[in-house]
Structure 1
């Protein structure tokens, strides 16, 4: 169950409580009967390993190749993942 933090607007008492997602938000301070406010804070999540960053799955290219690709790339929204093309072979096959 997630832990939620609350602070009273009257007596400034702060406390944490375990609540289910389906539980109602607390509104009354158990200490003085004042109005409670939910405190929001950043979540402690760390993304590690491959696949979390945009450059993880890219092959290495020279600066002239990357400059040519940037001018022909399509625009996409930052929040939506862009469709990736089929991976190109790393080395061309030797011709006999």
Structure 2
């Protein structure tokens, strides 16, 4: 049983790292299109979304800069390995 739990934990960690890599690539690609500089990326797992639907999803919050001397915060919601919602707030150009 312990071997199974260790293997399952490793599998979950591997899947989370895979999702994080897809999210990072998606965020960087979108910010490049908008001519923004990514400063940092963090994540948090959620069970309930904004419409009160129950499902496991991860919100990747990222800070970005448009001019180099400012900082804004956007987010990307991921469900499994697919981007579900991408939000970039209004910022200076």
TM-score (norm 2): 0.24
Query: Which of the pair is proportionally richer in strand?
Result: 2
TM-score (norm 1): 0.23
